[in-house]
Structures are given as C-alpha cells and as structure tokens.
Amino acid sequence: MSFRQAESRIPRTDAVLADPRLAEPRRLLGDGIVKRAVHRAQESAWASGGPTDDFVGRVLTDLPAHATSLTPVLNATGVLLHTNLGRAPLSAAAGDALMAAMGYTDVEYDLATGQRMGRGGAARAALLSTVPAADDALVVNNGAAALVLAAVALARDRDIVVSRGELIEIGGSFRIADIVTSAGARLREVGSTNRTRLDDYRAAIGPDTGFVLKVHASNFTMRGFTSAVTVRELATLGVAVVADVGSGLLVPDRALPHEPAASTWLDDGADLVTASADKLLGGPQAGIILGRSELVTRLRRHPMARAMRVDKLTLAALEATVAGPPPPIHDMLHGSPDALKERTGRICQRLAALGIAARIVPSAGMIGGGSAPDVTLPGWAVELPLDFARLLRTGRPSVIARVEAGHCLVDVRCVPAAQDDDVLGALTVAAHRHAESNNP
C-alpha cells in the first residue's frame, strides 16, 4: 500500500474526537491529553503502514488514568519514608479532607460572623491540642522554610549559635548552615564535630546572639568519644532556643526511643520547635513551628511568612492527619512481624502454586527519608531473581521493590494489606515476562 493510501485510511483527529466513546475521557482528562493519545495512535498507524481496526479502542487503551502523569506506585521497599516516592502516604481521612477542601472553603472566613478570620485556625488548634506544651503554632511550606523563617525573623544580621556536631546536610545537598545563612543570619559555630559543652555555647553568647539552634542529627549517628548539650541545658543560657526536630514526631513514640518529639523539647525548655509534617507525622509536605506565643507571633507577622504560606489543601490534610485516625505510617512502624510474615507467606504460596520460585527471607524495614538511621524494623520479604525489580517497576500497577545482594526483595510492610492482591497480580505478570525473556 502506498503512503498516500495508508494516510487516507487513517482516521482524522476531529473524526476520532467526535466518537461518543471519547466523550467521557475528554470531560475527565481534557482535549489536550486525548488529542495527544489520538496523535500517538495515528503515528503508529503511519509507522505500521496502514489503518487499524478499532482505532478508537486503541486510543482508549492508551489514555492515562488521570490528568496528572504522577503515577501511584506500591512501595514494596520496606522503607517507610522515601523522598523519591513522596515521603509519607496520607491517611484516608487526609485524602477525604483534600477532596472536601478542593472547592471554595472557609479557610480564612468565619461562617458564624461573616468576618475574615486568621488562616489555618483549625490546623493550628489541632496541633495545639496534640502538643499542649506549645502556646502557639504556625504552618509553613516545609521544614526548611520553618528554619529560614525563624532565622530571618529572629536572627537577621545577628548570630545563630550552633554546635559543629549539628551542622548537618539534609539531603539533596541542602545544608542547615546554608539554609540559615541564606536568611541573613550569621552562623556562630561552637564546639567540635564530636564534642560540644555548655561552656562552648556560653562563651559564644553575647549581645549579638539571635538564638541558639539545636538540630536533631536525624540522618546519621555518632558513636564513641562524643558529647552534646541537651535542650534542657541550653534552656539555662538565657537566650532563645530554637530546636529543629526534623522528623516530625509531635509526641514520643515507643518504637523510636531515640527520636526527640516536639512536645519533649518544648517541655525541656525550647522556645520554638520546627518539624517536617511529611516524615514521621505522616502528613502532607509542610513545616510546623510550635512554641512560645511571642516568638510564633513574630514569625507569623514577618513579611517572609507570606511567601511560605501553605494552601488550603495542605491545611486540610494536616488537620485531618493530626486530629483524625492514625496515618498509615503508624501501622507501618508498629506492624507486628508475625502479621507481616503471614502476608508474605501467603504471597509466596500463591506464587508457588503458579510455579514461580520465590522464598520468604527476613527483611529489615527502615524509616528512611533521613530519619532514625539506626532503627531497623524486623520483617519479611519475598526473594526473587534480580530482574523482577525492573519488571515490577515497569508493570501496572508499578511496584517498587528493594534490590539487595543481587536479589529483588518484595517487602509488604508499606503496602496496604488490602492491596496484597495487587502485588500478587503484578508479581504474576512479572513472572510471565521473566519466563518469556529467559526462554524466548
């Protein structure tokens, strides 16, 4: 068939778009996305030199499920907080809150009086009822923004006194030192990498001190000849103490005995505590500032606060996370190894019934996302040949497994139990692709 003949038999874009089967996708996805799928189908028809039966059917199978190309994945790595996978998964209650807030909402409006109201009052109230040690709370875009705002509002052109052992890099090559100095504060380093004493701080404090900064070294541990000064001791110095807990525990968690909680550090005398909302708290990306009302008010009133303001969706999801049922991260952290073993064993058995060689092996879950590097959570995984990692990742649904010592490990700790069948389905398809590529 000549090119011209082929071309003439490929349906025109407007004719395809007019097909009733595309009406609903056009409504849900928009014409731009549907048109691109039509163009892809036309190009592949050209490339294969002719028309195709059921052209519209081909377009339909090629359409994305959502108008965003962000693709949901199943996290079978056993790592709770994966920055590459969007850190904490939200609770169903937070998801509902997002949907409820997506239209017009009373985010800055008092329905009773019809007056303008301070933004985010409900999220603030939820935080204060969980952390009564705080007089006031403020929510900004992320943990780094919380630190910048504290630095610019309380220590611009002044000194931030910090231990050399706490000048950490938080990933993506962002360093605490660079974050606070970018806000126009001067860094006054004290002590040494492994040891800092209260006297080191005392010697550095003077009329130029903005505040003393305590940073939880959340992503590494130091052993041996070390000493650090506690928040309780820093609080005796007579200057403001700002403490970055990083990982976002609001109250202590028995599974993480070495992670400081915001409430503990406030009780110990910190004037302000900053934290991330999308780490161990299990909420949306946000930075939480808790502490003395006079200082929180200075931060809230600083012009820079406007540039770090969170939207109604973040406020809705954060409030639901703090006030609602425990988020998924809670179960993943506290899940019993026996229950994990049973789920993993069931997947292995069903794979065996399909003739797929898989075995169950111990697997250490981790917190990840730069939190609690020393904590390992006992659990189990399905061990498979290495190429399963790629087959699972590129399947639908996409399952992200862990690669360790030349094997692919599927750890269901961070997979909702209701989705075990989805993992099994993905494994079955991957096993077929694996068999094909090994016996072509």
Does position 321 interact with ligand PLP (CB under 6 A)? The reply is: no
Residue 245: name the closest of 258, 230, 232, 260 by CA: 260
- CB 259, min distance to ligand PLP, A: 10
The least CB distance from residue 144 to ligand PLP, in Å, is: 4
* Residue from 124, 188, 214, 216 binding ligand PLP (CB under 6 A): 216
CA–CA gap between residue 412 and residue 78 (Å, rounded): 7
CA distance 385 to 302: 56
Q: Which x/- pattern, by CB under 6 A, does the window 331-370 give for ligand PLP?
A: ---------------------------------------x
The length of the chain is 440
Q: Which residues between 219 and 278 bind ligand PLP (CB under 6 A)?
A: 244, 246-247, 276
Q: Which of residues 79-138 bind ligand PLP (CB under 6 A)?
A: none
Q: Which is nearer to ligand PLP, 137 or 410 (CB)?
A: 137
Closest contact distance (angstroms) between CB of 176 and ligand PLP is 6
Q: For residue 273, give both structure tokens.
A: 């505590």
Closer residue to ligand PLP, CB minimum distance, 171 or 378? 171
Question: Which of these, 125, 129, 151, lies nearest to 138 by C-alpha position?
Answer: 125
Distance of closest approach, residue 287 Cβ to ligand PLP, in angstroms: 6
Q: Least separation, in Å, of the C-beta of 334 and ligand PLP?
A: 21
Piece in contact with ligand PLP (CB under 6 A), picked from 12-20, 214-222, 397-405, 417-425: 214-222
Give the one residue of 59, 183, 185, 215 binding ligand PLP; rule: CB under 6 A: 215
Closer residue to ligand PLP in complex, CB, 215/305? 215
DSSP state of 413: G
Residues 369-388 contacting ligand PLP, CB under 6 A:
370
Q: How far apart are CA 120 and CA 138, in angstroms?
A: 9
Long-range contacts of 44-47 (CB under 8 A, 24+ apart): 45/6, 45/10, 46/6, 46/7, 46/10
Q: Which of 413, 389, 412 is nearest to 401 (CA)?
A: 389
Q: Is 144 in the site for ligand PLP (CB under 6 A)?
A: yes
Of the candidate spans 51-59, 142-150, 306-314, 328-336, the one that interacts with ligand PLP by CB under 6 A turns out to be 142-150
C-alpha to C-alpha distance for 48 and 54, rounded to whole angstroms: 15
Question: Does 434 sit near ligand PLP (CB under 6 A)?
Answer: no
Distance in angstroms (rounded) separating the CA atoms of residues 272 and 63: 49
Closer to ligand PLP by Cβ: residue 120 or 287: 287
- Chain residues 19-38 in contact with ligand PLP, contact rule CB under 6 A: none
Distance (Å) of CA 112 to CA 8, 29, 40, 116, 290: 65, 38, 54, 11, 28
* Nearer Cβ to ligand PLP (327/379): 327
Q: Of 210, 287, 328, 368, which lies in the binding site for ligand PLP, with binding defined by CB under 6 A?
A: 287
Cβ nearer to ligand PLP, comparing 260 with 379: 260
Nearer to ligand PLP, 45 or 289 (CB): 289
| Binding-site member from 91, 209, 218, 264 for ligand PLP (CB under 6 A) | 218
Residue type, 71: T
- Rounded to whole angstroms, the Cα distance separating 159 from 27 reads 56
The size of the interface with ligand PLP (CB under 6 A), counted in residues, is 13
Looking at the Cβ atoms of 370 and 379, the one nearer to ligand PLP is 370
Distance, in Å, from the CA atom of 366 to the CA atom of 376, rounded to the nearest integer, reads: 5
- Identify which of residues 89 and 246 has a Cβ nearer to ligand PLP in the complex: 246
Is residue 283 within 8 Å of 277, Cβ to Cβ?
yes
CB 259 within 8 A of CB 103: no
Q: Which H or E run includes 437?
A: helix 420-438
| Residue 91 vs 285, nearer CB to ligand PLP | 285
Rg (CA), the chain: 27
* Exposure b/e, 152-181, CB count within 10 A at least 16 = b: bbbbeebbbbbbebbbbebeeeeebbebbe
Q: Which distant-in-sequence residues (6+ apart) come within 8 Å of 388 by Cβ?
A: 401, 408, 410, 427, 430, 431, 434
- Which of the residues 169 through 198 are near ligand PLP (CB under 6 A)? 170
Nearer CB in complex with ligand PLP: 78/368: 368
**Structure tokens, 375:** 């904590």
- First-residue to last-residue Cα distance in the chain: 32
Q: Which residues bind ligand PLP (CB under 6 A)?
A: 142-144, 170, 215-216, 218, 244, 246-247, 276, 287, 370
